[in-house]
Amino acid sequence: MPQGIAPHRIVVIAPSPVSMFNLAIPEMLFCKVEVDGRPGYEVVICAAEPGPVPTTGGLDLHVRHGLDAVREADTVLVAGTGAPFEPESRIVTALREAAAAGKRIASLCTGAFQLAEAGLLQGRRATTYWAHADELRRRYPHVDLRGDVLYVQDGPYLTSSGYAAGIDLCLHIIRGDYGAAVANEVARFALVAPVRPGGQTQFTQTPLPPERGTACADTRGWAMRNLDKPLTLTDLARQAGVSVRTLTRRFHAESGVSPLQWLLHQRVERAKELLETTTLPMDQVARACGLGTADSLRGHLVRRTGLTPSAYRAQFSRLGTAPAADTSSAA
């Protein structure tokens, strides 16, 4: 981050009764971001009424800031609440004003009800905690509700489903602001899964579901260490010591996708990191992540992100110097 540039300000709104877990997520992740040795974000928590705010766990949290803090926000994030069907009118008004000012606005879990009440999600894709999805759909029929994803971005508005999906949404925001390498570093620091893409049109397909077992963990680890090699199903099954059919069944049960779908996702993520953190020519990036050729790299990256490799590097490079000239056909 250049000297003198202020960190990006995230203002988290705490509706009453607020989820303590939701409030912990932004602090845990955004406050771990450093760019050139300087904080990448400043996190401020506010409420409709400063002072004690009840939580879903029966405790009270003292919140110093009122909704005036939203005016100074770069991004507004609404935490989940135990009373999702009773949107707070002052919060709704603050969200409408933030939207009119062009701010990025996100919600965790049931915070989506506040965005919907403010009219921000009308005609847009959104999600919320699965247990309340039907109620959101009934109350706000003009919302294009996606109940089967971790999170969704539609323009400047982002929504996540419940609990740990809020972590995925915050990592997605970090990746969009500072690149995959920074987001993955934060994920490793917080001991959570690396960024899993979710609903943003130009940067996603279907997100990888959470892993639900460890039988194939060693095989996944081995594959990650050998992404530069042309791995096949037979190679993966041999390493796991099982048949291809058994591997495929176990892998899908644990990861929610086939071994080759998972492998392709990891190759593209590795390519992103190399584009952000090195000046390697495109053909070398392609070989290093196992995508073979610069043309293959270009095709997969455009499908996943909407950007060519050169455009992705130009937007997300973490290097202080200009990247080496790209003479490949995959620019």
Q: Given this model, what pLDDT does residue 275 score?
A: 92
Model confidence pLDDT, tens digit, residues 240-286: 999 999 989 988 887 778 899 889 989 998 999 899 889 999 999 99
Q: Given this model, what pLDDT does residue 326 score?
A: 39
184 pLDDT band, cuts 50/70/90, is confident
* Residue 1 in this model has a pLDDT that exceeds 80: no
Closest alpha carbon to 153 in 185, 126, 130: 126
Which tokens is 315 given? 């937007």
Cβ(151)–Cβ(161) under 8 Å?
yes
Q: Given this model, what pLDDT does residue 205 score?
A: 38
Return the SS3 of 276: helix
Q: Given this model, what pLDDT does residue 209 score?
A: 46
The model scores a pTM over 0.85: no
Mean pLDDT, rounded, of the chain:
86
CB atoms near residue 236 (< 10 Å): 24
Cα-Cα-Cα-Cα dihedral sign, residues 318, 306, 198, 294: negative
User: What percent of the chain is modeled with pLDDT above 90?
Assistant: 64
Q: Given this model, what pLDDT does residue 174 score?
A: 94
Q: Given this model, what pLDDT does residue 179 score?
A: 85
Dump strand ranges (E) for the chain: 8-13, 34-35, 38-39, 41-46, 51-54, 60-63, 75-78, 104-107, 125-126, 144-145, 151-154, 157-160
Q: Given this model, what pLDDT does residue 214 score?
A: 63
Higher confidence at residue 78 or residue 320?
78
* Counts for the chain of helices (H) and strands (E), in that order: 13, 12
Model confidence pLDDT, tens digit, residues 85-110: 999 999 999 999 999 999 999 999 99
Model confidence pLDDT, tens digit, residues 17-44: 999 999 999 999 999 999 888 999 999 9
Please spell the DSSP secondary structure of 27-58, one letter per residue.
HHHHTT-EETTEESEEEEEE-SSSEEEEBTTS
Q: How far apart are CA 316 and CA 323, in angstroms?
A: 11
